[in-house]
Structure formats: structure tokens, C-alpha cells
Structure 1
Amino acid sequence: MPRISELLGGDDPTFSFEFFPPKTPEGEENFKHALTELAPLDPSFVSVTYGAGGATRDKTVEIVRHIKETHGLEAMAHFTCVGATTDELRETLAEIREAGIDNVLALRGDPPRGQTEWVASEGGLEYSHQLVALLREDYDFAIAAACFPETHIHATSPEDDLRYLKEKVDAGVDFLITQLFFDNQLYYDFVERARAVGIGVPIIPGIMPITSYGQIKTITGLCGATMPEHVLGELDARQDDKEAVAEFGVSYATMQCADLLAHGAPGIHFCTMNRSPATRAILSALRLWQPWDARRTGLGEPRRPPVGA
């Protein structure tokens, strides 16, 4: 099975799903159902997150192994350096390698619950580029990293954020996945700025379909993602009707993804929140429409930012 880095850059875009390790019996059922419903869509790959502070490290590895062995899908483990020494990181990386996992998303990680500031563990790593360097020097993984079209919430400036991103990429990153965003111009502008500083790897947009008014308000508040005023107005008008919010969310995400693909994005990484209906509807529509083939769809020659390596 090809590694994720080998799937990028072809004629067709990649489609991928992000899951998180469930914490409750109900969550387990939701996850199993979502995986069962989404696996037949034949995604290019899936990824599995860590909990805050690396709380689900062992479960992440277990789930990725299960996805590969049971469903035959290429899978990627998120991996952070929170709460671990370098030796402990190496132990986990050995487990990942022994599990037959070939793809890792390298992250510094968020502070454990109850902590507001990130502090490196004694004997551990402080920066994500150090983690990337460790992976590249000593392990044969395809390496992904995160990037932030609206700038990381803890960055001192957009320029510093890009400088740190370039350090990560120069350390050995194969491709990038963005944090969620709701205005495509933010992605296009970010890609242009990244290319201008010498970042040449593929940059996959991360898309979260809006399915719940309260949930999206909470998530955007935590990560700092903004929402266009006209989109916010449509959501506010529907906030008391859950079905109307979800229907609008699917429609908006479908249009958002179609525009991205028509303008050269290398793929779409869906944040599923361990639910299947929205992602299934969006991906099914995109595959019927094929907006990346502008000549066939009549969209005209798209403006193509240099998103590929």
C-alpha cells in the first residue's frame, strides 16, 4: 500500500477523514458506525488524533492498526511530544513502526487539561521541528505537519508562524494539513505566502462540515478560526433548528470544497467528528461533480495557486 506522500500530486485529488479516539461506550458506537459507513467510500487515507496532552496515545496506535488491518485503509497516527521524554517518544515510535504504520502527523501538541501554557517535559522536546527532525533522522515514516491559514493562536505574528512552519518543513515534512477554515480566500492567501518563503510541499485543506450550531461555536472559539459574516448570519437564523443547521452546513462545505478543488487544492481532509452523514453527502456530491476537472464541468480555467510540490 503506497504511503500518503506517494498519493499526492496525481491527476485526481485525495480525500481523507480524521477520527478521534472515543472515550465512552456511546462514543465507541458512534466511531464504529462512522468508520463502517465511511470506509466503503475508499478514502485515500484516514488519520487518528491524540487527546489533549497525549492522553490517548496508546489508543490512537491501536485504532490506526485496526483501521489498516480490518478495513484495509492507509492510516496515519497523530503524534505529539507532550508529556513524554525523548526516550518515551522513541518507545511509542517503535510501537507505531511495529504496528505496520507508515504515516505520522507530527505535532507539538496542546497542554494537558488544566494547563493554559505549553511547557516541555524534562528530557523531552520543546518544538515540533525537533520532533520532525527525530522522525526524519531515525524512522522511515511519511511525515505530515499542521499549518494555520489564520495563524496559530499562540504565534506572535503571521510572519513568525510561517518562519516556524518553514523550520518544520525543512526538517523533513512531506506534506501539510491545514486547520479548519470557512473562507477559502484565507487558504489561497496562506498558500501564496507559504510559497513565497520557500515552502513547496503539498498543502491539504482541512474542512469541518458544520453540523451543530453550538459545537461549531465552541470549536471556532477554541482554535481561533473565523467565520464569514454572511455564513454566521445564515447559522444564526437557523440556530433553533438542528436539521436546518446541518443541511446548511453540508451545502456550504460542498461549495467550499468544490471551489478549493477547482482552484488546484491537492485534496480535502474532512474532520468527521466521528460522524458519517455530512462527510458521506459532501464526498458523494464532489465525486459526481468532479470540480477539479474544470474543462469537463465548464467552470473555466481556474486560478491555480502553486499547491503541489
Structure 2
Amino acid sequence: MAPPEISFEFFPPRNLAASFRLWDTVQSLAPLAPRFVSVTYGAGGTTRDLTREAVETIHKHSGLTVAAHLTCVDATRAETLEIADGFAKSGVRDIVALRGDPPKGSAGFTPHPDGFGSSVELIETLAQRGNFNIRVGAYPDIHPEARDASADLDWLKAKIDAGACEALTQFFFEPETFLRFRDACIKAGIDAPITPGILPIENWQGVRKFATQCGTNIPLWLDDAFEKAHRDGREDLLATAICTELCGDLLAEGVERLHFYTLNTPELTRNICHALGIAPSVELQNVA
């Protein structure tokens, strides 16, 4: 079984220490030759400038293909497109187009009066510009705001039909969750690649809380496994084993690409990639 193609997600740093941590993560994972890396956009557009700076720095100094997250939240159409055009001028042609999370404390997503009303509107406009590779989000477990699974699939198909070339899924804990979703996408006529999102579990309680917020199904056996691992001081060993087995099961079912949510901590992701047979290539050059 051939090693998969991989990609990594980072988040933009908010201070100097976090900047060093991000760059250390980039240096650690770049030798694994990802097909691209992405940089997230904070809830409510709170990291707009930080995202732009991180994207442009990684693009300029690492030689990696960088995909910039771009959302519809709290910005006019002109402001959003100015950011997108700025990415293009700096040589960044990959966009992860999302509606985006509303600001903390708000009742939900409310479009800016002069902004994009949905991710589909954003994707259509970016596609018309003709100079971006556009990726979108997908949800093996139903999106918390979706009416049902069928509506969720209809919305994903609308995003692909609007011009997206690939979907990156929310994380999940069991391979069957993704495989059922992949089958449903095919049945719905979605022909773009659906790449599973993989979250190495750095901290189970933190991941569990996040999964609950995202509507991700949490298997009961995970609570028991991490409780025992915590008593024995083996959380990292368990996390590596669980994630490696998940990835291996996906590869055995024909999955060829994996997208890792690194949380800017490279160790578990690197160890899992090594376990999957992904060997380092040349070391990162031209370090800033």
C-alpha cells in the first residue's frame, strides 16, 4: 500500500512566542513534502491580518504551496476580494473558502450588509476570477446548523458546482464515519475529491469539548481509553496508535489523501506520518 498524499493545517500566531512555534512546526513538517499547507481564519475574522501575514511568510520562505482560509464574516465583498487579490499578487493561488464562524457571543451568522451571504456566493465570485484553486469544508457528521444529512450534502454539492475543486472534511474518530459520507457524496453526484480531515489528539478533554461543539460523534470507547492512558501516562502513545490505525483503515479503503489538523504542534502528526510510511525528503531551506 503506497503512502498517502498529505497536507497540513496551521493557525496564525498571535504573539512572538507563537510565531516561533508556528515556524518550528513548518520546519518540522515541511520535509514530509505535503502537497499544500493551509492557514486558518479566526472566528469573526479576528485573525484576518495575522492569517495574511502567516500565509505570505510561509509562502515566501518555505517553498510550500500555501492555501489561505478566507471567510464571509464581518467584511464587505470589496474587502474580502481585496484580501483574495492580495494573496494572488503575492503568488498564493490556493484558497479554502468558508462561510466562517460568527464572532463569539453572537446568536449566529449574520451576513455583512455589503458582504457575501454564503460560502457559495464567495466561491462563485472567486471562481469567476479564474486564478484560484478553491477548496471547501465538508462534514461527515452533519453540520450543527444543517436541517439534516440530505440538506448538508445538497449544500456541499452547491459549493462544488460553484467552482470548488476539493473538499476537506471536519475531523472524525472512526473510519466508518468518513466511508459512509464518501458513499453518500458519490450517490449525491459530488465528483470532486473528498479528503478526510485528521486530528491527532494532543489533549483528549480539549478535543472532546471541541468535538461536542462541532457536532462530531464521540465513541464511548474513547473516553475509557484516554482515562486509562492518563492514569498510565501514555496519552501520546495512545493518540499515535489511534490516529495511525484510523489512517491505515482509510488507506485500506482506497483513500489516497489525508489532511492533518496540526494545532501548530508537529510531534504527533510527524510520528503518525512516519508510521504510515511517509519518509522525510530534503530539509527546509531558505529559513527566514
CA–CA separation in structure 1 for the residues paired with 2:220 and 2:244: 18
User: Retained in 1: the 8 A contact 2:55–2:68?
Assistant: yes
Classify 1:12/1:134 alpha carbon distance in 2 versus 1 (closer, same or farther; 3 Å).
farther
1:41 aligns with 2:32: yes
Q: Which residue of 2 is the match for residue 299 of structure 1?
A: none
CA–CA separation in structure 2 for the residues paired with 1:199 and 1:12: 25
User: Retained in 2: the 8 A contact 1:53–1:111?
Assistant: yes
Alignment of 1:8-19 (within 5 A): 13-19=4-10
User: Retained in 1: the 8 A contact 2:73–2:101?
Assistant: yes
Query: Which of these residues, 283, 286, 296, is aligned with residue 273 of structure 2?
Result: 283
Give 3-state SS (helix, strand or coil) of 2:218's partner.
coil
Q: Which residue of 2 is the match for residue 121 of structure 1?
A: 112
Q: Which residue of 1 is the match for residue 13 of structure 2?
A: 22
Per-residue deviation at 1:36? 1.6
Classify 1:287/1:159 alpha carbon distance in 2 versus 1 (closer, same or farther; 3 Å).
same
Query: Which of these residues, 244, 248, 269, is aligned with residue 258 of structure 1?
Result: 248
User: Retained in 2: the 8 A contact 1:202–1:266?
Assistant: no
Per-residue deviation at 1:213? 2.2
Classify 1:252/1:12 alpha carbon distance in 2 versus 1 (closer, same or farther; 3 Å).
closer
Q: Which residue of 2 is the match for residue 295 of structure 1?
A: none
For normalisation by structure 1, the TM-score amounts to 0.86
Where in structure 1 are there 5+ consecutive unaligned residues? 1-10, 290-309
For residues 22-81 of structure 1, give each alpha carbon's deviation from its aligned partner in whole angstroms, at most 9, with x where no partner exists: 223332232122112111222111000001111111221221222122111111001101
Alignment of 1:1-309 (within 5 A): 13-240=4-231, 243-287=233-277
CA–CA separation in structure 1 for the residues paired with 2:260 and 2:278: 18
Where in structure 2 are there 5+ consecutive unaligned residues? 280-288
CA–CA separation in structure 1 for the residues paired with 2:132 and 2:72: 16
CA–CA separation in structure 2 for the residues paired with 1:31 and 1:119: 32
User: Retained in 1: the 8 A contact 2:172–2:198?
Assistant: yes
User: Retained in 1: the 8 A contact 2:3–2:276?
Assistant: no
Give 3-state SS (helix, strand or coil) of 1:132's partner.
helix
Per-residue deviation at 1:240? 4.7
Q: Which residue of 2 is the match for residue 301 of structure 1?
A: none
- Aligned residue type for 1:33: D
Give the length in aligned residue pairs: 278
For residues 55-110 of structure 1, give each alpha carbon's deviation from its aligned partner in whole angstroms, at most 9, with x where no partner exists: 11122122122212211111100110100111111111111111110100000000
For CA contacts below 8 A with separation 6 or more, give which structure has more relative contact order.
2
- Aligned residue type for 2:15: T
Give 3-state SS (helix, strand or coil) of 1:287's partner.
coil
Runs of 4+, deviation exceeding 3 Å: none
Give 3-state SS (helix, strand or coil) of 2:110's partner.
coil
User: Retained in 1: the 8 A contact 2:140–2:169?
Assistant: yes
CA–CA separation in structure 2 for the residues paired with 1:185 and 1:87: 42
CA–CA separation in structure 2 for the residues paired with 1:226 and 1:63: 32
Q: Indicate the percent of aligned positions where both proteins have the same amino acid.
A: 36
Give 3-state SS (helix, strand or coil) of 2:96's partner.
strand
Give 3-state SS (helix, strand or coil) of 1:104's partner.
strand
For normalisation by structure 2, the TM-score amounts to 0.92
For residues 113-133 of structure 1, give each alpha carbon's deviation from its aligned partner in whole angstroms, at most 9, with x where no partner exists: 221311000111111111110
- Aligned residue type for 2:237: E
User: Retained in 1: the 8 A contact 2:196–2:258?
Assistant: yes
Higher mean displacement: 132-141 or 57-66: 57-66
Classify 1:140/1:177 alpha carbon distance in 2 versus 1 (closer, same or farther; 3 Å).
same
Classify 1:63/1:257 alpha carbon distance in 2 versus 1 (closer, same or farther; 3 Å).
same
Classify 1:27/1:214 alpha carbon distance in 2 versus 1 (closer, same or farther; 3 Å).
farther
Q: Which residue of 2 is the match for residue 3 of structure 1?
A: none
Give 3-state SS (helix, strand or coil) of 1:67's partner.
helix
Q: Which residue of 1 is the match for residue 282 of structure 2?
A: none
For residues 288-307 of structure 1, give each alpha carbon's deviation from its aligned partner in whole angstroms, at most 9, with x where no partner exists: 69xxxxxxxxxxxxxxxxxx
